[in-house]
Structures are given as C-alpha cells and as structure tokens.
Amino acid sequence: MPEGDTVYRAARLLDRALSGRELTRTDFRVPQHATVDLTGGTVETTVSRGKHLLTRITDVEGAAWTLHTHLKMEGAWRVHRDGERWKRPAHQARVVLGVEGAHAVGFSLGIVELLATADEGSVVGHLGPDLLGPDWSEDVALSRLRAEPDRPLGEALLDQRNLAGIGNMYMAELCFVAGLHPRTPVGDVDALPRLVRRGRQMLELNKERAVQSTTGNLRERERMWVYRRDRSPCRRCGTPVAVAMTGPAGRERAAYWCPRCQPEPA
C-alpha cells in the first residue's frame, strides 16, 4: 500500500493539473456514481490526508463536493494531455476528470466516493495527525501511541488513528534505524519522540522525489535498510534480514528486521 509521501505527490499532481479549472468532462466508472455529471463545475483543490485523497469541486449550482479516493494496493492517478495514450488499460480506469487540454485518470482506485465537502470528517475524521499535513502534532501522535503501552511498536506505527502516513516500508525502516524489533511494546521504547521525528523526516525528504530512499543512496537495491531485503545481509552486521507476518488476524502485514541489530523482545 502506498506510503504517505506517495499520496502527497499524487495530491500535488492533481492540484497542479486541475485546481482553479472548469471541468469539461467527468466520468465516474463505479456503480454508485455512474450517473453523476459534474461537467461545468470547478475544481477547487486536491489535498492528501494520510493515505486519503480529497478533491474538492464546486458544481454549477454552487454546491461543494469532495471526491474521496484511496489508492489501496494498486491504485494510481495519472494526468494525460488530450490525445495522449494512457499508460494503463482503460478497463482499469475508475474516474476521469477532464479540463481543457488534459484529463486526470484514476486507475484501480480502492475507494471512490463522492460526498458533500461538509461531510469529509466521516471518511478522514478518525485519522491521527498527518506527518505531512498542516494538522501535524507530535504531542498528539505521542499521546495516542502511548495510550496502548503493551501494543507492538510495528502495529502501533501502522495504525492510522495514531499518526497518518506510515505504511509497511517506513515502519520497517524506522524500527531498524531505532534498533527495535517490530514486536517491541510501545511502553518499552524510551526514545519514542526521536523515532516519531525520524519518521516525519523520512517522509519529508521523500515527498519531493519519486524514488524513495531511507539510506540516502538512490541506487537500485541500495535504497532501503531492511524493507523487502529478506535473506539479504544486513547492511550493518551482515546477518540475513528476517521477515514474518505480524498484526491482528485478517490485517497481517509483512515485517522486516535484522535479528542481530533488532533482537526480539523476551
């Protein structure tokens, strides 16, 4: 699932291509909104909220709508010039928003919802402070994390209700640079503020580039410390990186760690 910085870049792409412009075409290829036509409306802005995208549109009658989308595992937004061939198959398109000379296409989107802008809280109100958003609050994030001291650190970091924007990749990389096993109880993490700050720093650095890196090295296979490097040698000690599914039943995620640099708690 895309990380918060990936969603941030998608929001910026849509904002730059559509905001302040009149819609010349709208095509919602999902059953619940198949008959909706916002042609003639104006796109006000697109913002990210954790891993959610909110595109705000004022229709021709002045009503304020929000198109709520989520990339999930395979989704992506692309902007094409008129007449340009799409980079993904047309049958994967879920939303098409056209303006003069260009159109934005949402492919394989996991969520497509149209709701009154005043009701945005119903879809993102549960989220914790966004690591890349104007609502960021380290104090709030720390308070929410510490509210469950026995919870495994990896699970707590992935819970978007605590802080919004961290996915599997950043969870694995943060635990490694902190020298903590993903199953370490939150209450045992003395340097929790430093870990949270490091997470925000990672997303801030990567939000400006399409190639993500936590090592500072942008070369292929050199960008990550442990994520998706199972059975490869740890960059610090040479021990093979381990991987296992962790988390509550039905919501398991792959966790990566170095058994030597990140010993499992007793």
* Cα→Cα distances 228→36, 46, 73, 178, 265, Å: 41, 31, 16, 18, 22
Rounded to whole angstroms, the Cα distance separating 247 from 140 reads: 23
Rounded to whole angstroms, the Cα distance separating 208 from 200 reads: 13
Rounded to whole angstroms, the Cα distance separating 137 from 149 reads: 20
Kindly report the backbone phi and psi dihedral angles of residue 65, in degrees, each rounded to the nearest multiple of 5, phi listed first: -120, 155
Judge whether 253 counts as a catalytic residue.
yes
Judge whether 72 counts as a catalytic residue.
no
Handedness of CA 242, 248, 253, 257 (dihedral sign): negative
Give, as one character, the DSSP assignment of residue 119.
Answer: G
CB distance 53 to 123 below 8 Å:
no
The active-site residue, picked from 51, 207, 223, 229, is 51
Q: Considering only CA atoms, which of 41, 49, 115, 109 is closest in space to residue 77? A: 109
Kindly report the backbone phi and psi dihedral angles of residue 54, in degrees, each rounded to the nearest multiple of 5, phi listed first: -125, 110
Instruction: Tell me, rounded to whole angstroms, the distance of Cα 148 from its chain centroid.
Output: 23
Residues whose CB falls within 8 Å of the CB of residue 160, separated by 6 or more in sequence, listed in order: 50, 51, 126, 127, 128
The active-site residue, picked from 9, 94, 229, 253, is 253
Judge whether 207 counts as a catalytic residue.
no
Kindly report the backbone phi and psi dihedral angles of residue 9, in degrees, each rounded to the nearest multiple of 5, phi listed first: -65, -35
Chain position carrying tokens 């050199």 = 222
SS3 6: helix
Residues labelled catalytic: 2-3, 51, 253
